[in-house]
Amino acid sequence: MNARNAILSAAALACVCGTAAGQTNQPVFEVDYEGPRGTNTLEAINFGAGLRFTKFIYANAVTDFQGTDQQRSYGQTRIVRGPDSDVGPEPMKAPLATHSDEAHAEFEQQLVGVFQNTNLNSFIDNMTHNPHFSFVLELEKPLKDDDQGDDDLVGEIIFFERGARVANSYILLEALDADGNVMGTPYLVDPDIPIEMSPPVQACVLSTGDFSYRFSQDLGGVSIDLGKLGVSSTSRIRVSRPTVGENGLTNAMLSGGRDLNPDFKLVFVQTYNVKLTHWAVGD
């Protein structure tokens, strides 16, 4: 099925409704859903009241990838793609054989591909016991807040996370300036306030050994206003595994199956200076 037909196929278009408690907004994710093995493309995000966005900002580059154990980190942070999907980078089926600068750059080049599409079945997977990961996303153009300051209305960053009970993993986001210095405030994303997807959107789980398809898990989405990072615009975002004792994260917050190794995708939404399209049920 080509992309245009997929968009036009009402049967294939899952209207993914937000039901998160405690949030003032309930965005609807419109996903062209093929199933847990296929391509599941986010087509639009709708915050209601005519605030429906279809333009996304992608990354040009991943830089400064770091793992605690350089000998194993490429295997601890992996690229996943639905086995029947061809959107997004192919999984690297083994850790790199060498850790030369060239191999490091090759891995970063693979990673960035995850952030150049909205296929929710093309994402980053962190192994359960990965002790650390971080990298910087260099965006193709500045991500801007539609309404300066911290609010819960229109999120520019959507954190999609796969978990046994929808999203269950924390992540830390920081806006960086052109020199790599942190602007604003590091923001710990709480996976306990996900927008559940209804009907559910699932993402694949691949085996560690041969990367064959094993089963699938539900995805949850968390909508984050850019103001929560303490900035109104940024072109660089550092993504990392949070550390207990920093940025408000305590051990008590890891009860109930919550963890620090997200299997995730970040989607950046252009909400600033865009022509809004009005949309109603039944269109």
Nearer to Ca ion, 140 or 147 (CB): 147
Chain-centroid distance of CA 108 in Å reads 16
Contact of 108 with 62, CB cutoff 8 Å: yes
Determine which helix (DSSP H) or strand (DSSP E) holds 28, and give its type and residue range: strand 28-33
Which of residues 115 and 170 has its CB atom nearest to Ca ion in the complex?
A: 170
Measured from the Cβ of residue 50, the count of other Cβ atoms closer than 10 Å reads 11
Task: Quickly list DSSP for 30-95.
Answer: EEEE--TTS-EEEEEEE-STT-EE--EE-EEEEEEEEESSTTTHHHHEEEEE-TT--SSPPPP-S-
The nearest distance, CB 102 to Ca ion, in angstroms, is 32
How far is Cα 89 from Cα 91, in angstroms, rounded to an integer?
A: 6
Contact flag: residue 145 with Ca ion (CB under 5 A) = yes
Please give the helix or strand (H or E) that residue 215 lies within, else none: strand 213-224
Residue in 18, 221, 227, 242 binding Ca ion, rule: CB under 5 A: 227
Using the rule CB under 5 A, give the single segment among 9-17, 63-71, 174-182, 226-234 that binds Ca ion: 226-234
Q: How far is the CB of 262 from Ca ion (least distance, A)?
A: 5
Residues whose CB is less than 8 angstroms from the CB of residue 59 and which lie 6 or more positions away in sequence, other chains included: 112, 115, 116, 137, 138, 139, 140
Nearest CB to Ca ion, comparing residues 107 and 264 = 264
Specify the pairing of strand 133-144 against strand 233-240: antiparallel
Neighbouring residues of 100: CB distance < 8 A, sequence distance ≥ 6:
none
Contact string (CB under 5 A) for Ca ion, positions 96-135, x = contact: ----------------------------------------
Cα–Cα–Cα angle for 183, 188, 192, rounded to 5 degrees: 150
**CB-wise, 16 or 260, nearer to Ca ion?**
260
**Residue placing its CB nearer to Ca ion in the complex, 168 or 202:** 168
Among 169, 202, 223, 234, binds Ca ion (CB under 5 A): 169
Window 147-166: residues binding Ca ion (CB under 5 A): 147, 151, 154, 163
Shortest spacing between CB 161 and Ca ion, in angstroms: 5
Give which of 132, 103, 110, 119 is closest to 61, Cα–Cα. 110
Which is nearer to Ca ion, 34 or 145 (by Cβ)? 145
Which residue number, 32 or 122, has a Cβ lying nearer to Ca ion? 122
Residue 85 is a binding residue for Ca ion (CB under 5 A): no
In whole angstroms, give the CA distance from residue 86 to residue 81: 8
Shortest reach from residue 146's CB to Ca ion, in Å: 5
Tokens at 256, concatenated? 């109930």
Q: Which residue of 30, 146, 196, 218 would you call a contact of Ca ion, by CB under 5 A?
A: 146
Nearest approach, Cβ of residue 132 and Ca ion (Å):
16
C-beta of 254: minimal distance to Ca ion in Å? 12
What is the total count of residues that contact Ca ion (CB under 5 A)?
Answer: 10
Q: If binding is defined by CB under 5 A, does position 204 make contact with Ca ion?
A: no
Residues lying near Ca ion in the complex (CB under 5 A): 145-147, 151, 154, 163, 168-169, 225, 227
